[in-house]
């Protein structure tokens, strides 16, 4: 019965008809397409005439019967008339214990050159905020392992705190110290807007093998499109929520 239910669910969620459209124009990072019949937040693929791999884009609006998309990649090679295919799936992120100790991009794809098997589980990209009355109060102390913070700026579990300083002062070094020594089961670290050359330095020098072993690092460097960097923040939040809900199975 359970196997039959899986098949019924797969058939109901399958795309039985191909929904396609054509690029009519684009300006800046916004692509305007005549079709397909897509919903807001759906992922579409734009096919270039010069590249084999399509460019993923998200439906961000509708105007005068046209579909507005924002791409997650470089638009070079895209021209008026390029085909746009609707995938039928909303924006999501793969989750699961396979992410632990890994470095992934905003889409959950591995950046460390190793295969990733996330078990096929997908989390919604943008999660609904919790009811404010269902949130737990901050009662317990979070030990970061950094004595200056634990003694002079004691943090609580569930608290948000900002680290602000100029460049080269040591924000990344302090973040790495906290990730290595904090009393937590899973760390989710989002490196958004970092320079490309600084990502590897942070992972190897500041985070280290010990910190990476119980961390998930989501990376979107400063040279990537704004929508990709925004997605990385949502992806890291979705991974953190999934880890906090089922960390014992990770």
CATH code of the domain in which 99 resides? 3.40.50.12240
Q: Which residues 6+ apart lie within 8 Å of 38 measured at CB?
A: 19, 44, 59, 67, 86
Picking from 50, 73, 90, the residue at the C-terminal end of a domain is 90
What counts of helices (H) and strands (E) characterise the chain?
6, 13
**Do 140 and 241 sit in the same domain of this protein?**
yes
**Do 74 and 198 sit in the same domain of this protein?**
no
pLDDT digits over 153-211, tens only?
Answer: 999 988 888 888 888 888 888 988 998 888 888 899 999 988 888 899 899 888 888 88
**Do 21 and 48 sit in the same domain of this protein?**
yes
SS3 84: strand
pLDDT digits over 29-51, tens only?
Answer: 889 999 898 898 889 999 987 77
SS3 142: strand
**Do 102 and 33 sit in the same domain of this protein?**
no
Measured distance CA(242)–CA(119) in Å, rounded: 14
Q: Which residues 6+ apart lie within 8 Å of 214 measured at CB?
A: 100, 101, 184, 185, 186, 187
Q: What are phi and psi of 181, to 5 degrees?
A: -110, -15
DSSP 119: T
**Do 83 and 97 sit in the same domain of this protein?**
no
Token pair 């040279």: residue? 223
169: tokens are 């002062």
111: tokens are 């950046």
Percent of the chain with pLDDT over 90: 24
Picking from 60, 90, 120, the residue at the C-terminal end of a domain is 90
SS3 49: coil
Angle at 166 between CA 163 and CA 171, to 5 degrees: 40
* Residues 199 and 163: beta-carbon distance below 8 Å: no
**Do 100 and 191 sit in the same domain of this protein?**
yes
- 56 exposure class (CB count in 10 Å sphere: 0-12, 13-18, 19+): middle
Q: How many domains does the chain have?
A: 2
**Do 110 and 231 sit in the same domain of this protein?**
yes
Band of the pLDDT at 78, cuts 50, 70, 90? confident
Structural domain for 60, as ranges: 2-90
**Do 20 and 55 sit in the same domain of this protein?**
yes
- 4 exposure class (CB count in 10 Å sphere: 0-12, 13-18, 19+): exposed
113: tokens are 């050159």
108: tokens are 């959950």
**Do 214 and 188 sit in the same domain of this protein?**
yes
**Do 85 and 30 sit in the same domain of this protein?**
yes
pLDDT digits over 1-39, tens only?
Answer: 666 777 777 676 666 678 899 999 988 788 999 989 889
89: tokens are 């799936």
CATH code of the domain in which 61 resides? 2.40.10.170
**Do 59 and 99 sit in the same domain of this protein?**
no
């Amino acid at each position: 019965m359970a196997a039959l239910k899986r098949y019924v669910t797969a058939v109901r969620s399958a795309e039985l008809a191909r929904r396609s459209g054509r690029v009519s124009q684009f300006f800046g990072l916004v692509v305007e397409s005549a079709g397909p019949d897509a919903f807001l937040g759906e992922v579409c693929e734009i096919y270039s005439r010069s590249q084999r791999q399509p460019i993923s884009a998200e439906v961000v609006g509708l105007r005068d019967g046209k579909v507005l998309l924002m791409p997650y990649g470089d638009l070079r090679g895209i021209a008026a008339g390029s085909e746009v295919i609707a995938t039928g799936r909303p924006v999501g992120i793969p989750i699961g214990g396979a992410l632990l100790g890994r470095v992934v991009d905003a889409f959950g794809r591995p950046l460390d050159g190793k295969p990733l098997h996330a078990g096929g589980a997908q989390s919604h990209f943008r999660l609904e905020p919790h009811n404010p009355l269902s949130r737990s109060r901050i009662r317990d102390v979070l030990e970061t392992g950094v004595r200056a913070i634990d003694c002079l700026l004691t943090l609580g579990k569930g608290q948000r705190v900002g680290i602000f300083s100029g460049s080269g002062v040591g924000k990344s070094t302090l973040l790495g110290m906290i990730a290595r020594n904090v009393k937590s089961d899973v760390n989710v670290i989002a490196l958004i807007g970092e320079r490309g050359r600084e990502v590897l330095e942070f992972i190897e020098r500041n985070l280290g093998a010990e910190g990476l072993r119980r961390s998930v690092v989501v990376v979107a460097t400063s040279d990537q499109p704004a929508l990709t960097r925004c997605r990385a923040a949502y992806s890291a939040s979705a991974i953190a929520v999934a880890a906090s809900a089922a960390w014992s199975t990770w």
